[in-house]
Chains A and B, each alone.
Chain A
Amino acid sequence: MELDTNLTARDFNSDQEVKWCPGCGDYSILKQMQSVLPEIGIARKDLVFISGIGCSSRFPYYMNTYGMHSIHGRAPAIATGLKATNPDLSLWVITGDGDGLSIGGNHLMHLLRRNVDLNVLLFNNEIYGLTKGQYSPTSESGKRTKSSPLGSVDHPFNPLALALGADATFVARSIDRDPKHLREILAKSHQHKGTSFVEVYQNCNVFNDGTFLNFSDKKLKDQNILHLEEGKALIYANGSKGIRLNGLKPEIVDLDASVSESELWIHDSSDATKAYLLSRFFDNEFPRPFGIFYQEARAVYEDLMLDQIEESQNRFGEGDLDELLEGQRSWIVD
């Protein structure tokens, strides 16, 4: 990957008019991406955005890099083929809750287990926006939409638990309304070698407005957000509450004279078991964690693939086409 340190956020604006609905959370995500890329400093020629179908998937059109707006749910598979062909690219898969978890769920989980070195940004707005408001695989059960007038009977996915279950090597959550946090997570996901899975809570102000209000509203968010910081205790609600582990059972404790910080759960993103427990802080009495849940160094798919090719060439020599054509048992007819 070539570096280019002279880039600014504006260099990443494409010549296309951005056409998301006014007020859509996607604008913020686009802006944070365009701001963080100059800091990362990869040359535009080595950056590729691949998306599927949905509101979020229009993203590549707005980035002045290489990009492909592909077909519904298939971006992970397309990106895998691209990365196998050219491992020297900074590759970003842009997907949504419908694209990545419904029609493309199969590809997503296989991408995660293979650990191809790329970044997946899953814009989760818990609704189908582009098709005008049907419930999605992350919509809460009971949700009333055009396709569920009596309330959805589907049980929703927990995207991060799913990613951890598929042995993802980088699992994080952020939100459109916290630009600083989002930029930080984007930069960290870029730094991780392997598949980085980042769920971004994104408000659809037309079809699902306020679904993440608990995590974006100034008055509410402190009570509901738990910021994960490496090596630090799990504390929230302006330092008034913390999480303690009783064996494998997390407990909410009031931080007063009776409980000291040293008794609390210290965040360790290399611990898969704890990461899974954190992923279950989901629609229950626990605050919603944001940040890096889990991170692990594991061999990446395209390196293993190239290693095999190299090993095979070392062992058998680089393939000679005429030998291949002739095969092992030929004969001559005079």
Chain B
Amino acid sequence: MKETQALSKVTIHFAGDSGDGIQLAGSQFANTTALAGNDLSTFPDFPAEIRAPIGTVSGVSGFQINFGSEKIHTPGGRPDVLVAMNAAAYRKNFSSLKTAGVVIVDPAGFDKKNLRLAGYDENQNPLNDKPTDYQFYEIEVTRLNREAMKEVDIAPRERDRSRNMFVLGFIYFLYNRDLDVTLNFLEEKFKNKAGVLEANRKALLAGYNYGDTIEAITRYRIEKAKLPAGTYRNITGNQALSIGLIAAAKKSGLDLFYGSYPITPASDILHELAARKNYGVKTFQAEDEIAAISSAIGASFGGAIGTTGTSGPGMALKTEALGLAMMLEIPLVVVNVQRGGPSTGLPTKTEQSDLLQAVYGRNGETPIPVIAASSSSDCFWAAYEAVKMAVEHMTPVILLSDGYLANSSEPWRFPKSSDLKAIKAPFQKPNTDYLPYKRDEREVRNWAIPGMEGLEHRLGGLEKEDLTGNVSYDPENHELMVKTRARKVALIANDYPASELEQGSANADVLVLGWGNTFGAIKVAVAEALNQGLSVAQLHLRYINPLPNDLEELLGSFKTILIPELNDGQLVRIIRDRYLVKARVLDKIQGKPFLAEEIVEAIKKIDQHGA
């Protein structure tokens, strides 16, 4: 009989070479854990190179998962468990492991060559000098897995490729997990490769059975999380965003057109949508970023909901076309899955540094609504809302996600289609008098599309005469049109729900104001600070442009506003500029999300030193 210990929350960090199948093992563990009823949050972190130099620290691929019987908001801070497939993975991650944490290593990954590649002295194997206050499992994964492969018909050079499944099997044993999810997944994935399927199955079972066989091992039990009742699924940000676009198109009765050029970390949206052709989705892999947005503009001109997705460098290329879409006043959704910048920057790392670009980055007076998703599953709601806003207000909308939200997953209590809000496009009726730039009380013009009889008209990027849309160089008209377009975007804020504090009260001293992926870390941090008796509250922004009408009053009630951002201070500038309030930034520019403890520290500092 093994001893079983109950835990409320665990953070595991899987790490190995970028060819070791770490992402696959991690996402399998996440899917299994979700189905086991735990709440969870994941953080895949991998190099930009497909096969970074083998055995080196820069080639290490990581997958962190935080799961438990309580509500989980972040992928966890310092992990409780580190799985290190080689010396480089160990070297990169050991220092961030919790004191007295569990380390699972394969000694074969610590031979002289691996030690040298990882930057260790080859005679100074860290496994020979283990810190005694940590719990080490040295498992001869490579040797044991080769044993298991003896009965399988695969090439010798292929036999080590299933080591990830061996380790996963062992972890499944430790955490009392069912193997079915992964066995089913393997059967589907390798249905045409009998040898590979058998190798992976064998490895998974061998790892599990190894755990069952060895002596003196503690297993862990994590009860189901007490989540609100309902039906759940596990979902990543890019999946949620794709589904959100489809759902909004369906509810609006418009065709969905997605024009895109492959770019990390947005490409998965293109993949997701391209696989949904039976939903009538039209995907267009364009020749470049400019063609991607231009094709979407053409689709919207034709009466579809044109959408495009990219990341920072691609966003820069789309800038001119964004101006055109704003000028035409047609619906368009532009998704920016942000990554580390500037220039090519850090393609696989997360950052929030395209906020000012989204709000301001165009020639001329070019107001465009900007909304931001705050969690992986929230990408669905943000995408849905972006389409609704674009269609109902006849405007391009920029939707900000980022690499962390895009690839992370969490359980999602998904809605029923009947619960989704209606979306109504302001179509002009055929054969009626049509002035293309006549507006309603929200300054929104009507939409007439080619094929509609009696509404033939010309649009363009040149300044337009009020009402008719004809080219006009009239000075007063230009000023009128600039102000009108600005007012049109400003009026969108009338649709917003009232701003509500996530936690804490309006009487608190400190407000932690966030946007985008910082939501989870701030949530945990503010809860912790409140626990410690600090006077703090949390507010999270979905709408960056236009800002909510009630925000000024809400901000005014706090002595200090702290804005954690994964950039060098961008929202903080907008808030100071707009409201002339004392706001300070907590910046982090390391390509990684915030740890809750970093935000707690910042709150404490304010509390000690006063506002």
Known: A46-B451, A82-B450. A316 touches B278 (CB 8 A): yes
Q: Is B194 an interface residue (CB 8 A)?
A: no
Q: What is the bound-complex CA distance between A81 and B279, given in angstroms?
A: 18
CB distance from B347 to the nearest CB of A (A): 22
Residues 549-588 of B at the A interface (beta carbon under 8 Å): none
Q: Which residues of B contact A71 (CB under 8 A)?
A: 294, 320-321, 323-324, 461
Which of A81, A107, A318, A321 has most chain B Cβ within 10 Å?
A81
Residues of chain B within 8 A of A50, CB atoms compared: 298
CB-based nearest B residue for A64: B456
Residue B157, interface by CB 8 Å: no
Q: A330 near B231 (CB under 8 angstroms)?
A: yes
Interface check A80, CB cutoff 8 A: yes
- From A48, A72, A324, A330, B232 is in contact (CB under 8 Å) with A330
- Nearest Cβ on chain B to A62's Cβ, whole angstroms: 9
| Distance A88 CA – B452 CA, assembled complex (angstroms) | 12
Q: Please tell me which one of the listed residues B243, B298, B457 contacts residue A81 in the complex, with CB atoms under 8 A apart.
A: B298
Instruction: Indicate if the CB atoms of B280 and A319 lie closer than 8 Å.
Output: yes
Indicate if B331 sits at the interface (CB-CB under 8 A). Answer: no
Judging by beta carbons under 8 Å apart, are A324 and B181 in contact? no
CA distance A84 to B282 in the complex (A): 8
**B181 surroundings in chain A (CB, below 8 A):** 329
B193 CB–A CB distance under 8 Å? no
Q: Could you tell me if A329 and B31 are in contact, using CB atoms closer than 8 angstroms? A: yes
Complex CA gap A89/B302 in Å reads 10
Binds A, one of B2-10, B45-53, B135-143, B285-293: B285-293
Kindly name the residue among B255, B299, B458 whose own CB sees the greatest number of chain A CB atoms within 10 A.
B458
Q: How many A-B residue pairs have CB under 8 A?
A: 212
Interface membership of B444, Cβ < 8 A = no
- Cβ of A107 and Cβ of B324 under 8 Å apart? no
Using known A-B contacts A321-B250, A333-B230, determine if residue A82 contacts B291 with beta carbons closer than 8 Å.
Answer: no
Most chain B Cβ neighbours within 10 Å, of A60, A72, A321, A325:
A325
B279 near A69 with CB under 8 A, answer no
Whether B460 contacts A60 by the Cβ 8 Å rule is yes
Q: Are B454 and A45 in contact (CB under 8 A)?
A: yes
C-beta contact mask, B160-191 vs A, less than 8 Å → 1, else 0? 00000000000000000000010000000000
Is there contact, CB below 8 Å, between A84 and B299?
A: yes
Chain B's interface: helix, strand, loop or mixed, by majority?
mixed
CB-defined contacts of B455 to chain A, threshold 8 Å = 45
Size class of the contact patch on chain A: 35 or more
B450 touches A48 (CB 8 A): yes
Q: Provide the bound-state CA to CA distance between A172 and B556, in Å.
A: 68
Measured between alpha carbons, how far is A78 from B37 in the docked complex, in Å? 47
Q: A319-B280, A333-B229 are in contact. Are A324 and B306 (CB under 8 A)?
A: no
Residues A333 and B228 in contact in the complex (CB < 8 Å), given A85-B298, A85-B299: yes
Q: How far is the CB of B570 from chain A (nearest CB, A)?
A: 27
Q: Which residues of the partner chain A approach B279 to less than 8 Å between Cβ atoms?
A: 318-319, 321, 324
B304 contact from A43, A44, A85, A311, Cβ within 8 A: A85
A74 to B450, CA, bound (A): 19
8 A Cβ contacts from A146-199 to B:
none
Task: Please report the C-alpha to C-alpha distance between residue A72 and residue B321 in the assembled complex, in whole angstroms.
Answer: 10
B423 within 8 A of A: no
- In the assembled complex, A8 has its CB within 8 A of some CB on chain B: no
The residue of chain B having its C-beta at the shortest distance from the C-beta of A45 within the complex is B453
CA of A82 to CA of B282, assembled, Å: 12
**Is B480 on the interface with A (CB-CB < 8 A)?**
no
On whether the beta carbons of B227 and A82 are closer than 8 Å, the reply is no
Q: Give A73's nearest chain B residue, CB to CB.
A: B290
CB-contacts of B522-549 with A (<8 A): none
For the complex, give the distance between the alpha carbons of A68 and B291 in Å.
Answer: 16
Pick the contact of B295: A47, A68, A84 (CB < 8 A). A84
- Identify which of residues 1-29 in chain A touch chain B, using a CB-to-CB cut-off of 8 Å: 14-16
Interface flags for B260-300 (1: CB within 8 Å of A; 0: not) read: 00000000000000001111111010111011101111111
- Pick out which of these stretches binds chain A: B94-102, B364-372, B411-419: B411-419
Q: Does A77 contact B (CB under 8 A)?
A: yes
Which of A47, A53, A77: most chain B CB closer than 10 A? A77
Contacts A81-B259, A324-B243: A88 and B451 contacting too (C-beta < 8 A)? yes
Say yes or no: A324 contacts B247, CB within 8 Å.
yes
Q: Does A285 belong to the interface (CB within 8 Å)?
A: no
Contacts of B37 in A (CB 8 A): 331, 333
Complex contacts, B460 vs chain A, CB 8 Å: 60-61, 68-70
Whole-angstrom CA separation of A44 from B448 in the bound complex: 14
Q: By the criterion CB–CB under 8 Å, are B294 and A331 in contact? A: no
Do residues B234 and A325 form an inter-chain contact, with CB atoms below 8 A? no
* Contact A327:B235 (CB < 8 A) given known A69-B458, A333-B227: yes
Interface pair B450/A333, CB less than 8 Å apart: no
B63 CB within 8 Å of chain A: no
Give complex CA distance A47, B450 in Å. 7
Q: Cβ of B450: which chain A residues have Cβ within 8 Å of it?
A: 45-48, 66, 82, 86, 89
> Distance in Å from the Cβ of A303 to the closest Cβ of chain B?
13
Residue in A82, A316, A326 whose CB lies within 8 Å of B299: A82
Residue of B nearest to A4 (CB): B453
Instruction: Decide: B456 and A325 in contact? CB cutoff 8 A.
Output: no
A41 beta carbon closer than 8 Å to chain B: no
Q: B24 at interface (Cβ–Cβ under 8 A)?
A: no
Residues in chain A near residue B231, CB distance under 8 A: 326, 330-333
Q: Give 1 or 0 for each of A308-320: 1 = CB within 8 Å of chain B CB.
A: 1101110111110
In chain A, positions 268-320 with a C-beta closer than 8 Å to chain B are 305, 308-309, 311-313, 315-319
Cα of A82 to Cα of B295 in the assembled complex, Å: 7
- Does B250 lie within 8 Å of A85, measured CB to CB? no
Could you tell me the distance between the alpha carbons of A67 and B470 in the complex, rounded to whole angstroms?
Answer: 12
**What chain A residues lie within 8 Å of B127 (beta carbons)?**
none
Counting CB contacts under 8 A, is A322 at the interface? yes
- Nearest chain A residue, comparing its CB with the CB of B413: A333
CA distance A64 to B324 in the complex (A): 22
Asked if A37 lies at the interface with its beta carbon under 8 angstroms from chain B, I say no
Q: Is B303 an interface residue (CB 8 A)?
A: yes
Contact partner, A326, options B277, B280, B306, B414, Cβ 8 Å: B414
Q: Which A residues lie at the B interface, using CB under 8 A? A: 14-16, 43-48, 50, 53, 60-61, 63-72, 74, 76-86, 88-89, 106-107, 110, 305, 308-309, 311-313, 315-319, 321-322, 324-327, 329-334
| List of 9 A-B pairs having minimum Cβ-Cβ separation, nearest first | A81-B298, A69-B460, A319-B279, A81-B295, A85-B302, A77-B294, A77-B291, A78-B298, A312-B277
24 contacts between A and B (CB under 8 A): A45-B455, A60-B458, A61-B458, A65-B456, A68-B301, A71-B324, A74-B290, A77-B294, A80-B298, A84-B299, A85-B257, A85-B303, A86-B449, A86-B451, A89-B451, A107-B294, A309-B277, A313-B280, A319-B246, A319-B279, A324-B276, A325-B415, A329-B35, A329-B234
- Extra pairs beyond A84-B257, A89-B302, A309-B280 (8, CB < 8 Å): A71-B294, A81-B300, A81-B306, A85-B302, A88-B451, A313-B280, A321-B246, A324-B279
- Chain B: residues with CB nearer than 8 A to chain A? 31, 34-35, 37, 181, 224-225, 227-235, 243, 246-247, 250, 255, 257, 259, 276-282, 284, 286-288, 290-292, 294-304, 306, 320-321, 323-324, 328, 413-417, 449-462, 470-471
